């Protein structure tokens, strides 16, 4: 299977073709595409779904293949600029000294020491400061606030050094976000981030439709406005300390952005345009934010000649105002406008209803090979949903099953007499059904929920269930730490039960007895009230198509396959996959879902699931 996939990749590279390749867990798809890519003699870009996988490819997989082949290829790792320390912003933050806590001040000193000794400037290499610490936003740059060649530190810039290495390398490892950021820049006529190449390989390619939708759309957020105000205030201190109107305009914009977010009491969520009409204060707060943004732009324009930084800030303010105004007043049938809420910010989004045409133009404009690979791209070996979403009308498709013996190593268990998933008692029934199976396994379980509300309820119920049974399995819940930290704890404990939501559905690899049970509470249909999904469903139905069967079911199948894929990660693994949604056996589409999963033995009897672990060697 691995050899067949490698031959298919080699043929696609030789013919500058498009290949969509699905390879089950254990196929060895990484080596299957790396071997022909490294032997091709051309320049290769490998794009991954996460920075963790980027690091794994760069630090482990590519060196292993390169050494085995004795291929004299050079390799570079390139991340987005927010991953690299910026000398200019670090120096400015050290000079400003306005940090909100002593902890941030201590972390700033750690970063200062790191910047003096590091060769890469990559924040992932700064072990003493967490990657998600707030201080990083003060000492890294964005495309908007980078001074470019006008920066006094340009020759020592870590971002530029990484790009120079990428230009010179035979193989460049990036992630999907950086790839699409480059596409958007190229379409805008700006300089390219990525070098020209002969082959692009997308690993974890199932993530591409969503990522592409983000980048091919438009957005502006209150955090961007606050960042603009902060940068303008700092630039004013350095370049226009005598101009009092500038810090006043900055303060007004920061307040307006804060007030806009405070219109919504919710901690998070996605709201369609129609729902905003019910928020009487929203229109006024948005108007006030735009007025404050226009005022700051005017003040920056008046001071633009005093420094390059001031001139760039003026251009940033104009660009943000244009985006926000276009969102407020624009009518575009090809895009859906909506609002996303985060803990401390709000983002205005305009997302394309389809990226197929946009991405197809990228494929057609570049004479190169395009390889799309993942364990989850098809619905029962049918690639039409994925290829249609990505505009890959002429792609070759191929699928290879996992080499693992799922019939022997695993069991698919759908409990009997479960309530419907939209009922209040469903989560309690899931926990009650899962507890005896987890007990029989000796712990080592993921409980994956399709909503945060159900996850929190499931956590409390599972804690009570374990106590009632006198079981001392450690109980972890998503949010107690970063995903990587929680996985280290989970693996180390060996018998823990981890209750999670979206974060643990994919990209998680736990081998051995530490993960013996995967419980999925509901079939993972995206919430129909999601603004983008609702707009796509509405358009498809208006076109006379069946959006549920054509779009929602295939999307749910791919997500379900990702969740199920957590269970068997090695040829010695054994485990039970529990799907606690009766629709998988009672509805017609359920058969498509089961047939898309690996060929596991199937049962509806609790006794079979419990007995499965009695025979474990």
pLDDT of residue 188: 53
In this prediction, residues 154-159 reach a mean pLDDT of 92
For 559-579, how does the pLDDT look when each residue is reduced to its tens digit (9 = 90+)? Answer: 999 989 889 998 999 999 999
541: pLDDT strictly greater than 90 = yes
CB burial class (10 A; 0-12, 13-18, 19+) of residue 462? buried
131: pLDDT strictly greater than 90 = no
159: pLDDT strictly greater than 80 = yes
Please tell me the distance from the alpha carbon of residue 494 to that of residue 497, in angstroms, as a whole number: 9
Yes or no: say if 543 and 601 are a contact pair by the CB < 8 Å rule.
no
Average pLDDT, the chain: 91
- Phi, psi angles (nearest 5°) of residue 584: -70, -20
Tokens of 99: 């940090």
Buried b (16+ CB within 10 A) or exposed e, 205-237: bbbbbebbbbbbbbbbbbbbbbbbbbbbbbbbe
Sequential DSSP letters for 514-543: G--EEEE-S--PPPTT-HHHHHHHHHHHHT
Cα angle 76, 80, 81 (rounded to 5 degrees) comes to: 105
Sequential DSSP letters for 406-428: HHHHEEEE--SSPPPTTSTTHHH
Yes or no: say if 253 and 293 are a contact pair by the CB < 8 Å rule.
yes
Stated as kind and residue range, the H or E segment containing 302 is helix 280-303
Determine how many CB atoms are found less than 10 A away from the CB of residue 279: 14
Q: Model confidence at 190, in pLDDT bands (50, 70, 90)?
A: very low
Beta bridge partners of 399: 22
For 84-101, how does the pLDDT look when each residue is reduced to its tens digit (9 = 90+)? Answer: 999 998 988 888 766 667
Determine how many CB atoms are found less than 10 A away from the CB of residue 74: 11
- What is the tally of helices (H) and strands (E) in the chain? 27, 18
Length of the chain: 617
- Residues in contact with 208: Cβ distance below 8 Å, sequence separation at least 6, in sequence order: 176, 202, 372, 390
For 411-445, how does the pLDDT look when each residue is reduced to its tens digit (9 = 90+)? Answer: 999 999 999 999 999 999 999 999 999 999 999 99
Please tell me the distance from the alpha carbon of residue 361 to that of residue 391, in angstroms, as a whole number: 9
For 464-511, how does the pLDDT look when each residue is reduced to its tens digit (9 = 90+)? Answer: 999 999 999 999 999 888 788 889 999 999 999 999 988 888 878 889
pLDDT of residue 186: 63
In this prediction, residues 200-206 reach a mean pLDDT of 95
pLDDT of residue 185: 67
- Phi, psi angles (nearest 5°) of residue 400: -130, 130
pTM of the predicted protein model: 0.89
Top pLDDT among 396 and 615 is at: 396
SS3 614: helix
Cα angle 146, 151, 156 (rounded to 5 degrees) comes to: 100
Please tell me the distance from the alpha carbon of residue 567 to that of residue 448, in angstroms, as a whole number: 12
Sequential DSSP letters for 542-565: HTT--HIIIIIHHHHHHHHHHHHT
Angle between helices 87-96 and 222-239 (to 10 degrees): 70
pLDDT of residue 330: 78
For 303-320, how does the pLDDT look when each residue is reduced to its tens digit (9 = 90+)? Answer: 999 988 899 999 999 999
Residue 458's nearest CA partner among 428, 415, 422, 502 is 428
Please tell me the distance from the alpha carbon of residue 181 to that of residue 194, in angstroms, as a whole number: 10
Yes or no: say if 303 and 325 are a contact pair by the CB < 8 Å rule.
no
Sequential DSSP letters for 175-232: EHHHHHHHHHHHHTTPPPSS---SEEEESSGGGHHHHHHHHHSEEEEHHHHHHHHHHH
- Residues in contact with 16: Cβ distance below 8 Å, sequence separation at least 6, in sequence order: 198, 367, 368, 369
Q: Model confidence at 189, in pLDDT bands (50, 70, 90)?
A: very low
- Backbone CA torsion sign across 482, 483, 486, 492: negative
SS3 617: coil
For 38-78, how does the pLDDT look when each residue is reduced to its tens digit (9 = 90+)? Answer: 999 999 999 998 878 888 899 999 999 999 999 999 999 99
Yes or no: say if 377 and 205 are a contact pair by the CB < 8 Å rule.
yes
Please tell me the distance from the alpha carbon of residue 5 to that of residue 48, in angstroms, as a whole number: 18
SS3 499: strand
């Amino acid at each position: 299977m691995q050899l067949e996939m490698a031959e298919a990749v080699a043929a696609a590279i030789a013919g500058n073709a498009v290949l969509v390749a699905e390879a089950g867990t254990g196929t060895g798809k990484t080596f299957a595409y790396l071997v022909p890519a490294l032997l091709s003699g051309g320049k290769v870009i490998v794009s991954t779904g996460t920075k963790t996988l980027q690091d794994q490819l760069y630090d482990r997989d590519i060196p292993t293949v390169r050494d085995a082949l004795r291929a004299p290829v050079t390799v570079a790792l390139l991340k987005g600029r927010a991953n690299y320390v910026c000398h200019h912003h670090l120096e400015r933050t050290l000079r400003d000294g306005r940090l909100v806590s002593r902890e941030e001040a201590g972390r700033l000193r750690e970063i200062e020491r790191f910047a003096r000794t590091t060769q890469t400037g990559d924040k992932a290499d700064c072990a003493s400061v967490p990657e998600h610490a707030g201080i990083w936003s003060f000492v890294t740059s964005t495309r908007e606030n980078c001074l470019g060649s006008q920066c006094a530190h340009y020759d020592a810039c870590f971002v530029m050094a990484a790009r120079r290495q990428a230009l010179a390398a035979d193989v460049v490892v990036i992630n999907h976000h950086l790839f699409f950021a480059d596409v958007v820049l190229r379409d805008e006529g700006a300089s390219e981030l990525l070098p020209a190449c002969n082959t692009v390989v997308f690993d974890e390619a199932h993530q591409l439709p969503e990522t592409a939708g983000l980048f091919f759309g438009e957005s502006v957020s209150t955090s961007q406005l606050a960042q603009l105000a902060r940068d303008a205030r700092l630039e004013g201190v350095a370049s226009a300390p005598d101009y009092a109107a500038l810090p006043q305009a900055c303060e007004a914009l920061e307040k307006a952005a804060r007030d806009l977010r405070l219109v919504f009491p919710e901690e998070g969520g996605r709201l369609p345009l129609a729902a905003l009409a019910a928020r009487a204060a929203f229109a006024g707060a948005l108007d006030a934010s735009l007025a404050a943004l226009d005022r700051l732009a005017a003040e920056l324009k008046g001071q633009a000649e005093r420094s390059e930084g001031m001139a760039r800030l003026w251009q940033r303010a104009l660009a943000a105002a244009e985006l926000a105004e276009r969102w407020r007043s624009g009518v575009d049938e090809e895009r859906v406008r909506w609002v996303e809420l985060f803990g401390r910010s709000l983002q205005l989004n305009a997302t394309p209803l389809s990226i197929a045409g946009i991405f197809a133009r990228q494929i057609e404009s570049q004479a190169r090979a395009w390889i799309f690979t993942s364990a989850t791209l098809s619905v029962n070996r049918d690639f039409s949903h994925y290829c249609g979403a990505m505009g890959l009308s002429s792609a070759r498709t191929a699928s290879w099953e996992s080499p693992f013996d799922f019939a022997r190593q695993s069991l698919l268990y759908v409990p009997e007499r479960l309530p419907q998933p939209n009922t209040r008692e469903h989560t309690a029934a899931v926990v009650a059904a899962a507890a005896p199976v987890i007990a029989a396994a000796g712990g080592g379980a993921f409980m994956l929920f399709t909503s945060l509300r159900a996850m929190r309820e499931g956590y409390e119920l599972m804690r009570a269930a374990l106590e009632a049974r006198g079981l001392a399995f450690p109980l972890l819940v998503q949010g107690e730490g970063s995903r990587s930290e929680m996985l280290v704890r989970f693996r180390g404990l060996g018998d823990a039960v981890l209750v999670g939501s979206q974060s643990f559905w994919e990209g998680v690899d736990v081998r051995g007895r530490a993960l013996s049970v995967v419980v999925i509470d509901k079939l993972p249909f995206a919430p129909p009230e999601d603004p983008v999904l609702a707009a796509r469903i509405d358009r498809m139905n208006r076109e006379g198509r069946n959006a549920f069967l054509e779009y929602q079911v295939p999307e749910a199948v791919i997500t379900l396959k990702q969740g199920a894929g957590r269970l068997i990660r090695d040829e010695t693994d054994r485990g039970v996959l529990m799907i606690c949604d009766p629709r998988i056996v009672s509805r017609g589409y359920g058969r498509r879902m089961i047939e898309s999963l690996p060929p596991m033995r199937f049962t509806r009897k609790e006794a079979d699931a419990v007995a499965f672990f009695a025979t474990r060697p």
